[in-house]
């Protein structure tokens, strides 16, 4: 994914959100992005996915890129509210290969800290943190090669965070992470960038 001289402003906005921003994301890159609230982090994520068009500049997404996006909201699970967790998992393949290991969706759910007892629970009865983990699991089951996470640690307690960190730590694809959680960012990303005044600054 390559962004070149990207400029973006909201309609009626006094200041541009992004200014002449250039960013190259290659296979296997693991990048963290941080910045103040309102700095434009979520807008940047939408642009690099091709969901939002900048006013000027170029956004190129490779033909083999398959992006999965974990947003700050849980809206993607609303249509599954009345389904049992087991029923949701049954919609997917029975087995997947992750890092050379064959796993089932139920096994992946366990790796994210779910107990088997939750398989017979309705999605709407899950806690916010449990829904968050289920949301992450479902996008991983779509086998993306680029994973974009916007504040994934929201609503999670320490045990939930540890399970997610372990999973992300060994995930083999490209990772773009926006978070205020410094520990999470330093653990699962290799390079960090600050979004300041509409542009990215590498922060060694």
How many C-beta neighbours within 10 Å does residue 73 have? 11
Q: Are 26 and 2 in contact (CB under 8 A)?
A: no
DSSP class of residue 25 equals: -
pLDDT category at 35 given cuts 50, 70, 90 is very high
Whole-model pTM: value is: 0.84
- Could you report the per-residue pLDDT of 70-84, keeping only the tens digit for each? 877 776 788 888 999
- Predicted confidence at residue 178, as pLDDT, reads 94
Q: Which of 39-43, 121-125, 130-134, 176-180 has the lowest mean pLDDT?
A: 130-134
- pLDDT at residue 47 above 90? yes
């Amino acid at each position: 994914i390559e962004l070149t001289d990207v400029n973006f402003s909201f309609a009626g906005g006094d200041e541009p959100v992004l200014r002449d921003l250039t960013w190259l994301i290659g296979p296997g890159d693991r990048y963290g992005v941080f910045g103040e609230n309102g700095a434009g982090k979520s807008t940047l994520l939408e642009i690099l996915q091709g969901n939002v068009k900048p006013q000027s500049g170029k956004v190129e997404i490779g033909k083999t890129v398959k992006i999965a996006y974990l947003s700050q909201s849980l809206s993607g699970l609303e249509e599954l509210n009345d389904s049992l967790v087991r029923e949701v998992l049954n919609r997917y393949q029975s087995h997947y290969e992750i890092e050379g290991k064959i796993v089932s969706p139920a096994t992946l759910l366990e790796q994210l800290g779910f107990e088997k007892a939750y398989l017979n629970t309705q999605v709407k009865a899950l806690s916010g943190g449990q829904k968050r983990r289920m949301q992450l699991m479902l996008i991983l089951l779509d086998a993306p090669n680029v994973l974009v996470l916007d504040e994934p640690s929201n609503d999670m307690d320490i045990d939930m965070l540890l399970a997610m960190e372990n999973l992300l730590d060994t995930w083999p694809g490209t990772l773009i992470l926006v978070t205020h959680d410094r520990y999470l960012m330093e653990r699962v990303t290799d390079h960090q960038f600050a979004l300041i005044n509409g542009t990215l600054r590498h922060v060694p």
